[in-house]
Structure 1
C-alpha cells in the first residue's frame, strides 16, 4: 500500500476543508521563506516591502517617511529604523523637501530595480488573487482580514 501526501484541501470531516491545517502549513512555510530570503539578500520582509513601495511609486512627486510608515503599518520609530537601514545599505537616499523644510523625501538610489525581481512572490500572489471570482475574493479577503487582525493583535477577544 502506497502512502500519499494529503492534498492542500484535506478535510477534517469529509466535506469541510481543513482551513486551520492549511493556515498552520502556510505559517511554517512563510517563516522558512522569510529566513531563507533574509540569508540570501540581507533584507528582512519589512525592508523588502518598503523597497517595493518605493519602486512601485518611483515616478511619484514625493514619498515621505510618514507615507512609508502608514503603508507598512509601522510605528514612527520602526519607520525611522527601517529608513536608516535602507540608507546604510545604500538602497535609498533621504533628501530635504524643496519647498517645505520640515519634510523629508525618500528616493531609491537605483530607480531601475524591478520590484518583481526584488520580491517575485508578491506578483505571483497578486496574480493568483486576481484569478478568484469576485464572490470568492470577498470571502477570502474577509477571512484573511480576520487572520491579520489576530496576528497583529487587533482582533477582539470574543472573535
Structure 2
C-alpha cells in the first residue's frame, strides 16, 4: 500500500505528522471511536450478550438509579426496535438472570422490567475500571479546555445528525 498522502484531506490515509491540525483532530476522533468500539465489544463478550442487550441494561440501570421504572414499550422506543424484538430481548435478559419482570406499581395490566442487583454489580465491575481511567483523563482538563471540547463534540454530533437526516 502506498504510504504517500493521497489527494484530499488525508483523513483516511495520511500519518498524523503529514496532516493539518483539523485533519489530525478527525484522525484522533477516529482512533478514539475505534478504541471505544473495541472496548464495547470486549465488554459484551465478557458479559455474554449483544450490543442491544447491553444498551437495554444501560437504560434500565439508569432509570432505576433515577428512581424510575421502565416497561417493554419504553425499551422498544429507546432502542428503536419492534415490540416483538423487545419481547425476545427481555426473554434473553430474564433467562440470563440480568432482569426480572414485575407488576407495574400502578397499572395492573402492565409490567416493568427491573435489573437485578447482580446485574448492577456485574456492570459496575466490568465497566468501573474503564470509566475511572476515562474520568482521570477528563479531570486533567482545565475548565476552559473542557468547554472547548464539549462544544466541539456537540458540533460534531450535530453535523453527523444533519448529514444523516439528509440521506
**TM bracket (short chain):** 0.5 to 0.7
Shift of 1:19: 0.6
Q: Does the CA contact (< 8 Å) of 1:11 and 1:17 recur in 2?
A: no
One of 139, 143, 146 as aligned partner of 2:152: 143
5 Å-filtered alignment, 1:66-105, equals 66=73, 68=75, 73-77=78-82, 80=86, 81-105=88-112
The offset of 1:89, in angstroms, is 1.8
Q: How many Å separate the matches in 1 of 2:137 and 2:74? A: 27
User: Secondary structure of the equivalent of 1:106?
Assistant: strand
What's the offset of the Cα at 1:53?
A: 4.1
Q: 1:11 to 1:124 in 2, by over 3 A?
A: farther
**Computing the radius of gyration over CA atoms, which structure comes out larger, 1 or 2?**
2
Change (3 A) 1:145 1:83: farther
Contact 2:43–2:126 (CA under 8 A) maintained in structure 1: no
Structure 1 pair 88–53 and aligned structure 2 pair: CA distance change class (3 A): same
Q: Where in structure 2 are there 5+ consecutive unaligned residues?
A: 1-15
Distance in 1, matches of 2:149 and 2:59, equals 24
| TM-score when normalising by structure 1 | 0.63
Q: Deviations over 1:73-105 (max 9, x none)?
A: 421528825434322322101222132134422
Residue in structure 1 matched with residue 125 of structure 2 by the alignment: 117
1:28-74 CA-to-partner distances (Å, cap 9, x unmatched) read 2233333333333212344334334434554655411355566xx42
What is the alpha-carbon root mean square deviation over aligned residues?
A: 3.6
**Cα separation, 2, equivalents of 1:149 and 1:86:** 33
Number of positions where the alignment pairs a residue of Structure 1 with one of Structure 2: 145
Structure with the bigger RCO (C-alpha within 8 Å, sep 6+) is 1
Q: Which runs of 5+ in 1 are unaligned?
A: 1-8
> What is the distance in 1 between the residues matched to 2:147 and 2:135?
15
Of 9, 19, 26, the residue aligned with 2:32 is: 26
Give the number of the structure whose residues are more often helix, by fraction.
Answer: 2
Residues 60, 70 of structure 2: 8 Å contact kept: no
The two structures have a TM-score, normalised by structure 2, of 0.61
